[in-house]
Amino acid sequence: MVAVTDLVAEAAALDAADPLAHKRNDFDLDAGVAYFDGNSLGAPPKHVAGRLAAVVREQWGGRLIRSWSEGWWEAPVRVGGRIAPLVGAAPGQVVVADSTSVNLFKALVAATRLQPGRDEILVDADTFPTDGYIADEAARLTGRTVRRVVAEDMPAQVSERTAVALINHVDYVTGRAHDLAGLTAALHRAGALALWDLCHSVGALPVELDAAGVDLAVGCTYKFLNGGPGAPAFLYVATKWLDRFEQPLAGWAGDRDPFAMRGAYEAHAGIERGRAGTPDMLSLLALDAALDVWDGVDRGVLREKGLALGDFFFRCADELLGGAKIPTPRGRDRGHQISVIDDDAAETMAALIDRGVIGDFRPPNVLRFGLAPLYTTYGEVLRAVTTLRDLRG
């Protein structure tokens, strides 16, 4: 049995050697709080508040309506271009607009239109609930059926009937990471399209959409990308599908000439066709500012730190929690989240939060600890485990 003092020394050594340690200074974090909920709401970069105040004061206040023609209108594509490298996408394939749910609906309906002879949508059986809800409604509106399949079983379950499969890159309960490239290839062998939900992976682990040949993807920006509460989501459409991507929300922002005010919609030729209505400029520009923290960050280094934080969590749990049940994989097939089974998860997490360790829980019995490599420290990991040990008596 390793003494806590030894783990304290180990955590200090790991923090001292951390190549990303300096990035924590970019965030507005209470020194008395250990924050493990960046997989639900990322911490605010320090400079965002000032940048957003300047937008309100100088752009909205000073330039008024003129700001729409001075950069606002093009912002969804410009900011999408900043996210593109974080998901392994070449320019011109990512747009920031609307919410994840809305973008899922656009992508699912568009996928069925790209596959007119196929009447089935496969959905990751363990998906985040909204994905399943949206898939059910998209299927109902397009005359398709939904079949729920465990992600790992999709290569055996996909068929000539399958138009598209919707998969979460990282499972939101267990933290398991699915094989994006392998599953995409298996779907393609059956002629189906691959639609990935990146909400729990973008900003946490390397994503290579182009290299994997992914067809469509969506993701939120308020988790590991730190875009702020309710920050707009993004939509990825592979270049090969752009000229045939017919999304169902034919709003004016996606028109090829939105200010022509024609009576009939004509889709834009590029990724702009993924837009629908007028963008939420304050949230969008807050996200734009938040993305500055990614400048110069090596995604490989980010991934290795995320895995190392998880490894240290496992080590501390093994030494201090006495056989705790942890459904998160211990290999590289995981995202940057550790889940712990606790019969009184809601009460336990509330008690952790009262003690300055902020994570979250998912019913009925899962404690979740998000590990954001840009600001989570090894010392905080040890604090989380020791606090959980103390609560368990």
**Sequence-distant (≥ 6) Cβ neighbours of residue 98 within 8 angstroms:** 106, 232, 233, 235, 275, 276, 277
Residue whose C-alpha is closest to residue 322's, from 386, 264, 246: 386
Q: Cite the DSSP H helix spans in the chain.
A: 4-17, 48-54, 75-83, 100-114, 129-142, 154-157, 180-189, 209-212, 239-242, 281-290, 299-320, 345-354, 378-392
Among residues 27, 105, 172, 222, which one is catalytic?
Answer: 222
Given 106, 223, 305, 334, which residue is catalytic? 223
The single residue of 23, 161, 368, 383 carrying the catalytic annotation is 368
Answer for the pair 379, 349: CB distance below 8 angstroms, yes or no.
Answer: no
DSSP 261: -
342 a catalytic residue: no
* Token output for 74: 């093009």
The answer to whether the CB of 170 falls within 8 A of the CB of 177 is yes
36 tagged catalytic:
no
Annotated active-site residue in 197, 288, 342, 360: 197
The verdict on whether 262 is a catalytic residue reads no
Element housing 370 (H / E)? strand 366-370
Does 128 qualify as catalytic in the annotation?
A: yes
User: Cα separation of 7 and 11, whole Å?
Assistant: 6
302-337 CB burial, b ≥16 within 10 A, e <16: bbebbbbbbebbbbbbebbbeebebebeeeeebbbb
Rounded Cα distance, 96 and 166, in Å:
20
223 is catalytic: yes
Nearest CA-CA partner of 340 in 326, 361, 329:
326
Q: Which of 128, 234, 236, 245 is catalytic?
A: 128
How do 357-358 and 34-35 pair as beta strands?
parallel
Catalytic residue numbers read 128, 197, 222-223, 368
